[in-house]
Chain A
C-alpha cells in the first residue's frame, strides 16, 4: 500500500529545545494530519492541514502542508516533558470512494529530558 516516510524515527532532546519532524511520500495526499500517541492510549489529532502550502499553528505546534502535496512537517517549540510520546503523520488521498482511508507514517518517538 501507500507509504509515508517519517523521520526521524526517534529524538532525544532537552526540555526547552525545539523539535522538527517530517513526512514525505512519492504520492500526492489531499489532507495531512499529525497525531500524538501517549503510552497506553490511542492517537489524538494535533493538527489537520487541508490545502497545499497551508501553515497552521496550535499553541507550540506548527505544521505545514508542502506545496507539492507530497510532504509535511511538524515543529514543536520550547519542548516540555509532557511532549513525550509518539508522533504520527497521516494522509488522506481522494481515491474514488475510499477517501476515508488514512495512511500512517511509522511514527517519531520523542523523549524530552527535564
Chain B
C-alpha cells in the first residue's frame, strides 16, 4: 500500500517477555518517528531516524526500549522485559525528511502486557 504500515496490529504478551514492533514507512520518506500513545494521553515522542544520521533517542523512556532502522527503510522497535506500564499504542510515522513537514502515521500496534 501507499501508506505507513505497522505490524502486528495487536500484541498481547506476558510481563518480562521481549516484543518487537515493525514499521514500514512510505517509500521515499527518509524520516521515521516512533510515538507512544497511552490511554487518554497525547502522543509521546520516542525516537527519530533521519537518513544516515544518528537517531534522536531522547524520548525512549528506559534502556529496555531500543529501535533500529535497517537500510533506511523498515524500522523495528524492541521492548525488552516488558512491564505492565508499557501497555499502550505504539505509532510510527514517516515524512519526507526536510524538517517541519507533514508526518504520516501508521495505524499503530496495540500492546497489552499482562
Contacts and interface: CB of A to CB of B under 8 A. Distances in A.
A42 interface: yes
B91 A42 contact: yes
Interface stretch (B12-20, B63-71, B76-84, B104-112): B104-112
Interface residues of A, number: 25
A102 B102 contact: no
A107 B45 contact: no
Contacts, number: 55
A4 B107 contact: no
A106 B103 CA distance: 18
Given A42-B107, A42-B108, A101-B48, A31 B41 contact: no
Interface string B82-100: 0000000001010100011
Nearest to A44: B105
Interface residues of B, number: 24
A6 B41 CA distance: 11
A100 B95 CA distance: 10
Interface string A100-114: 111111110000000
A102 B99 contact: no
B43 A43 contact: yes
Nearest to B3: A42
Given A4-B42, A88-B42, A43 B99 contact: no
A106 B42 contact: yes
Contacts of B95: 100
Contacts of B45: 101-103
Contacts of B33: 100
A30 B99 CA distance: 12
B88 to A, nearest CB: 14
Interface of A: 4, 6, 30-31, 40-45, 48, 88, 90, 92, 94, 98-107
